[in-house]
Amino acid sequence: MRRDDISEGHPSTSGFLLSEPNFAHLRDMTEDRGLWEHASHSTPRPEHGFCNDDNARALVITAHERAADLTLLAGIYLRYVLESRRPDGTFRNRRNSVGTWVDDTGSDDSQGRAWWGLGAIAARAPEQWMQETALEAFQSCAVFESPHLRANAYAALGAAEVIGRSGGFQPAVELLDRTTASIIVATRSAIPWPETRLTYDNARIPEALLAAGLALGDERRTAVGMRLLEWLAGTETRGNHFSFTPVAGRSPGDHGPAYDQQPIEAWAMADACHRAFVATGDSRWHELVIRAVKWLFGTNDANAVMYDEASGGTYDGLMATGVNLNRGAESTLAGLGILQVAASLRSNSS
């Protein structure tokens, strides 16, 4: 496996050896109906079935790739998301191992993630039919509405992708404006963070504002996104590494490392800081991207490597005593997403 040097300060300086993404475990976790949600160590657990959350996130990942077998996987994930659509344009979420839907309508987060995945495919899918199919689905994105900040952030990221591909595609413009406006409103009454406590996938909130600021030419959204990201990155830094909010959340006044920390936090932070780096050119954001990458490779509160290079799986949680050895879909996609961000840095610096 080819390895490249990448380090804090500048992409061309030597220091941190970084692997190319390995998609073997993602392949093993996928079958014709979709991406299995859970694994026992590296073995899929069919009894837990599938969910739209993971298949939509898998679209975000595979939209970046051009290998033929990964294009086939993208087609599987796209079919899952499209088959989850209800007549009213909303999405189901969960499907059992034999392919039967087991819910009527998915959570708000799963709705937002569906639009995020479809937006990524509409913008960057490896095949034209995938782009066209996803863009056609976006014609009905006006049905999305949620009071939840993360659900709005996910949908906003998908809408920003569509706008980046097609310019003024009106349904996506309206969705992006509406979803990020709700985040802006929340920031007016809660400073420095628009919630009473940190919960999960936190950096997606400022990332959505940064994406909207660029796509809509709105300096206010950009400025608020930068403010939130500055605060979050500082709050989740301990010494020379990230100490992410654990799965149970973090309240004001909580101190010291807490567990278990989830790989999705590192992926969201890497994506958000990379977006800030591209927007500003400030090398400090580049350094924070690398800090998020290094979290995956052991520069974290437990000094534990979270990514299994041999399989391409990412462990489900960082614990005080090491790692949760299960490698489910969410965590594995997060690890691959982190490595894709790092590859983007290398590409931008070459």
| Structural tokens at position 315 | 């462990």
Given a cut of 80, whether residue 349 has pLDDT beyond it is no
Given a cut of 50, whether residue 3 has pLDDT beyond it is no
Predicted local confidence at residue 301, as pLDDT: 97
| Structural tokens at position 173 | 């413009």
Predicted local confidence at residue 83, as pLDDT: 98
Confidence of residue 235 (pLDDT cuts 50, 70, 90): very high
Predicted local confidence at residue 94, as pLDDT: 98
- Share of residues in the chain with pLDDT > 90 (%): 89
Q: Which residue has the tokens 């859970």?
A: 38
Confidence of residue 20 (pLDDT cuts 50, 70, 90): confident
- Share of residues in the chain with pLDDT > 70 (%): 94
The stretch 267-286 carries a mean pLDDT of 96
Predicted local confidence at residue 160, as pLDDT: 98
**Predicted confidence (pLDDT) per residue in 40-85, tens digit:** 999 999 999 999 999 999 999 999 999 999 999 999 999 999 999 9
| pTM of the full structure | 0.95
Predicted local confidence at residue 14, as pLDDT: 33
DSSP 267-311: HHHHHHHHHHHHHH--HHHHHHHHHHHHHHTT-STT----EETTT
Mean pLDDT, all residues of the chain: 93
Predicted local confidence at residue 17, as pLDDT: 56
| Structural tokens at position 33 | 């109906």
The stretch 299-328 carries a mean pLDDT of 97
Predicted local confidence at residue 11, as pLDDT: 37
Predicted local confidence at residue 189, as pLDDT: 87
For 59, 69, 235, the CA distances from 124, given in Å and listed in that order, are 10, 16, 33
Given a cut of 80, whether residue 16 has pLDDT beyond it is no
In the chain, the amino acid numbered 228 is: L
Confidence of residue 348 (pLDDT cuts 50, 70, 90): low
Q: Is 64 left (phi over 0), alpha (psi -120 to 50) or beta?
A: alpha
Predicted local confidence at residue 166, as pLDDT: 80
Beta bridge partners of 317: 324
**Predicted confidence (pLDDT) per residue in 194-213, tens digit:** 999 999 999 999 999 999 99
Predicted local confidence at residue 5, as pLDDT: 46
- Kind plus residue range of the DSSP H or E element containing 16: strand 16-19
Q: Compute the distance between CA of residue 198 and CA of residue 40 in angstroms, rounded to an integer.
A: 28
Q: Is 281 left (phi over 0), alpha (psi -120 to 50) or beta?
A: left
DSSP 317-339: EEETTEEE----HHHHHHHHHHH
Predicted local confidence at residue 13, as pLDDT: 27
In the chain, the amino acid numbered 125 is: A
The closest of 55, 102, 49 to 82, measured between CA atoms, is 55
The stretch 161-166 carries a mean pLDDT of 92
Q: Which residue has the tokens 């500082």?
A: 234
**Predicted confidence (pLDDT) per residue in 95-122, tens digit:** 999 999 999 999 999 999 999 999 999 9
